[in-house]
Structure 1
Amino acid sequence: MKGRDILKNMVSSSGGESTKAPIQAQSPHKPAGAVRAMNLSLGRLSDEAAAAKELRSALAAGDKVVELSPAQIEASFIRDRIPTEHDPALQELISSMRESGQQVPILVRPHPSKENHYQAAYGHRRLRAAVILDRPIKAIVRQLSDDELIVAQGQENGPRVDLSFIERALFAKHLELHGFDRDRISQVLSVDKPEISRLLQVADAIPEQIILAIGPAAKVGRPRWLAFADLLKDKAAFGRITKAIGEAEFTSIDSNERFRRLWLSGQAPKASKENSRGQIRTRKGLVLAAVERTSKGSKITITSRAFAEFLDAKMSDLVEQFDRENSSQTAN
């Protein structure tokens, strides 16, 4: 029996007799192709096993699965995922829920300030899918403190579908801003304190509006985000990047491609190869010096000893002439 069928039976029987059906162990001789088909792109088998364990624990604790209107439910007071229009996992979930219904309930708590409303601890993708499909959502309602809610939220994401590096960094920053200490943030994200420091280093270095514009960028790790943060320190690069974000087609491209495009936009324009090198010649074509122009300045290499002596003798006159002409142009 497939994991999702087990979950479906557990949800449907939660209001009556308790569920005793175990999750059958995967046979070691099962063909690898069948395993891949069950897991799909997100490791569906392990997801369903983790979800089934959570559901069994909830039912054993006496929690009941109820149906709620998605309009009654708000997101957690600290968002862990960066919203994006290009979310393959969400599209896959929508297809699954359309065909087979919602297999696993979400976890919510009564809203602390709105009567007959709730806040989601986890299951935000399922909530979004239910909104898109315009159908009620199955939920477990549990009394949770702020602390308990964010721990449940982090632990649900940890062993199942991992957040991208920048999503974890931003989540850690928001937790810190809400007053959670490093010990609690480490527990929520299931990482050690040095890793929390690395996450916060990136989240503090890059403006949040730029992170949100890029999105989760699942293929981009800490080294490239740190390099991107260094790039943003240059005012000219920052200007080029913000200009690229404002381009009409920017929001229509994949999140990883957005990062790549902004990275390229931030690079200094390469000096034109044309006229980057030149020579100083006499009327008869005799080479006196070579001129090299770069983004950092220009360099003249004198190859004629006679021309070098000439310049040395005339240098003070040339400087005075430059001052006169430059002052005249400034006055005009």
Structure 2
Amino acid sequence: MSRKETLSNLFLQKREAPAPSKNLDTDRVRTGAIGAMGASLKELAESAKHASDLQKQLEDADAILEIDPGLVDPSRIADRISIDVDPAFNGLVESIRESGQQVPVLLRPHPDNATRFQIAYGRRRLRAAQALGIKVRAIVRKLTDDELIVAQGRENLDRQDLSFIEKAFFAKNLEDEGVERAVVISALGMDKSDVSRLISIARKVPLNLIRIIGSAPKAGRKRWMELLEQLDDEKKLEAAESLLNNDDVKSLDSDQRFAKLMSALRKHDSDSKNTETDIENGSAAKAWRSKDNSVSLSMNQKPRMVAIKLEEKNAKPFSDWLTTRLDRLYDEFEQSMNKETGD
């Protein structure tokens, strides 16, 4: 080997590449596993956040659910008058049967039972679904007691769905439950003095009558005040109870029942005035009414004249029946007179 080659080999000798590490593949595998685990954890976190966001969106969007009516309890404060006869309810049932429930009810999770719900509004729709054996379409929203009350009142006000007397009883029921007056005012959208008047009127209406009359949507404050004035008279109150328990009257809708009652009470006033006049003129008045209230008879008597008046549903058929029996009735009358005189 020449001297030149020796020097070249000394200074320019290439260093051999180090032998590959035995741990290199292991390190690569370990790094890959950690990376995959990190990605999985990131995906899980993102999925959880997405689920949380979705849940919040559903709550904010008031998603409509289908709930078994048997799982729904009433609100502790009724906003509607519970009546013994409700012909309009059958119409609601048929409407839902044919077209489905168009407007959902509002529920909240029951504050005392996690497996149940409590209704804020839509009680008649809930009853209709129960009658049909179907689930009720509902919005479920977390509400405090005060929020529930305000939601009850506001929904009905927005739909102009509460009559004057229903507002009055709703206000009374809220006060009876110890609800703060500010909440009552907010629920009804009225000022303090109007709410006070409502409560005062509701406390004067006999509950047994209101359960038969119902909501009477067309009757406002003035007409209810007139009714209360009429019912201050004990005899008129008894007449009102008798009239409203008539099956024919019960078959009428609520506004018709109210109108029928007012008409009867006004007539009672007129008859009383006529009676007073008759007494002053030396005449007397007598009256009779059938047990089912289908016929009423009044007689204004004077020495040589008696005016007989038949009224109500069966007045004409009863008068026809009576006319065919007048001869026999008069014969009975004569016989009774003979017995009294001894002839």
Alignment TM-score > 0.5, same fold: yes
The answer on 1:250 being equivalent to 2:240 is no
The answer on 1:130 being equivalent to 2:129 is yes
Return the offset for 1:244.
1.9
Show the counterpart of 1:263.
Answer: 262
Show the counterpart of 2:108.
Answer: 109
Find the aligned partners of 1:167 and 1:268 in 2 and give their Cα distance.
28
Superposition map of 1:78-157 within 5 A = 78-84=77-83, 85-86=85-86, 88=88, 93-114=92-113, 116-157=115-156
Q: Secondary structure of the residue that 1:270 maps to in structure 2?
A: helix
Show the counterpart of 2:197.
Answer: 198
Return the offset for 1:216.
0.6
Find the aligned partners of 1:118 and 1:165 in 2 and give their Cα distance.
29
Identify if the C-alpha distance between structure 1 residues 184 and 257 changes in structure 2 by more than 3 Å, giving closer, same or farther.
same
Could you list the runs of 5+ residues in structure 2 that have no partner in the other structure?
Answer: 1-50, 286-343
Q: Is the 8 A contact 2:87 2:253 kept in 1?
A: no
Q: Is the 8 A contact 2:59 2:141 kept in 1?
A: no
The letter of the residue matching 2:143 is L
The letter of the residue matching 1:106 is V
Identify if the C-alpha distance between structure 1 residues 151 and 243 changes in structure 2 by more than 3 Å, giving closer, same or farther.
same
Identify if the C-alpha distance between structure 1 residues 206 and 272 changes in structure 2 by more than 3 Å, giving closer, same or farther.
closer
Find the aligned partners of 1:173 and 1:195 in 2 and give their Cα distance.
12
Superposition map of 1:190-229 within 5 A = 190-229=189-228
Return the offset for 1:94.
4.1
The letter of the residue matching 2:271 is K
Percent identity, please: 40
Find the aligned partners of 1:119 and 1:112 in 2 and give their Cα distance.
8
- Structure having the higher helix fraction is 2
Find the aligned partners of 1:174 and 1:271 in 2 and give their Cα distance.
37
The letter of the residue matching 1:159 is D
Show the counterpart of 1:180.
Answer: 179
Find the aligned partners of 1:135 and 1:163 in 2 and give their Cα distance.
26
Q: Secondary structure of the residue that 2:224 maps to in structure 1?
A: helix
Identify if the C-alpha distance between structure 1 residues 204 and 294 changes in structure 2 by more than 3 Å, giving closer, same or farther.
farther
Return the offset for 1:127.
1.3
Q: Secondary structure of the residue that 2:173 maps to in structure 1?
A: helix
Return the offset for 1:100.
4.1
The letter of the residue matching 2:64 is V
Q: Is the 8 A contact 1:82 1:167 kept in 2?
A: yes
Identify if the C-alpha distance between structure 1 residues 180 and 271 changes in structure 2 by more than 3 Å, giving closer, same or farther.
closer
Q: Secondary structure of the residue that 1:218 maps to in structure 2?
A: coil
Return the offset for 1:293.
6.3
Identify if the C-alpha distance between structure 1 residues 277 and 173 changes in structure 2 by more than 3 Å, giving closer, same or farther.
closer
Identify if the C-alpha distance between structure 1 residues 271 and 58 changes in structure 2 by more than 3 Å, giving closer, same or farther.
farther
Return the offset for 1:240.
1.4
- TM-score of the aligned structures, taking structure 2 as reference length: 0.58
Q: Is the 8 A contact 1:237 1:265 kept in 2?
A: no
Deviations 1:196-255 (A, max 9, x none): 122122112212222122101111111111111111111111121122233233321111
Identify if the C-alpha distance between structure 1 residues 149 and 277 changes in structure 2 by more than 3 Å, giving closer, same or farther.
closer
Identify if the C-alpha distance between structure 1 residues 274 and 141 changes in structure 2 by more than 3 Å, giving closer, same or farther.
closer
Find the aligned partners of 2:182 and 2:127 in 1 and give their Cα distance.
31
Find the aligned partners of 1:200 and 1:170 in 2 and give their Cα distance.
7
Find the aligned partners of 1:104 and 1:275 in 2 and give their Cα distance.
56
Q: Secondary structure of the residue that 1:158 maps to in structure 2?
A: helix
Superposition map of 1:24-35 within 5 A = none
Identify if the C-alpha distance between structure 1 residues 230 and 272 changes in structure 2 by more than 3 Å, giving closer, same or farther.
closer
Q: Is the 8 A contact 2:104 2:139 kept in 1?
A: yes
Find the aligned partners of 1:276 and 1:93 in 2 and give their Cα distance.
50
Return the offset for 1:176.
0.8
Identify if the C-alpha distance between structure 1 residues 112 and 293 changes in structure 2 by more than 3 Å, giving closer, same or farther.
farther
Q: Secondary structure of the residue that 1:249 maps to in structure 2?
A: helix
Find the aligned partners of 2:284 and 2:202 in 1 and give their Cα distance.
34
Q: Secondary structure of the residue that 1:225 maps to in structure 2?
A: helix
Identify if the C-alpha distance between structure 1 residues 126 and 227 changes in structure 2 by more than 3 Å, giving closer, same or farther.
same
Show the counterpart of 2:236.
Answer: 237
Find the aligned partners of 2:76 and 2:62 in 1 and give their Cα distance.
23
Return the offset for 1:163.
0.8
Return the offset for 1:269.
6.3
Deviates more, 1:58-67 or 1:126-135: 58-67
Could you list the runs of 5+ residues in structure 1 that have no partner in the other structure?
Answer: 1-14, 19-56, 279-289, 296-332
Identify if the C-alpha distance between structure 1 residues 119 and 268 changes in structure 2 by more than 3 Å, giving closer, same or farther.
same
The letter of the residue matching 1:121 is A
Runs of 4+ in 1 over 6 A off after TM superposition: 272-275
Q: Secondary structure of the residue that 2:178 maps to in structure 1?
A: coil
Deviations 1:65-87 (A, max 9, x none): 32211111122211112245446
CA RMSD of aligned residues (A): 3.3
Show the counterpart of 2:73.
Answer: 74
Find the aligned partners of 2:269 and 2:261 in 1 and give their Cα distance.
12
Q: Is the 8 A contact 1:271 1:294 kept in 2?
A: no
Show the counterpart of 1:317.
Answer: none
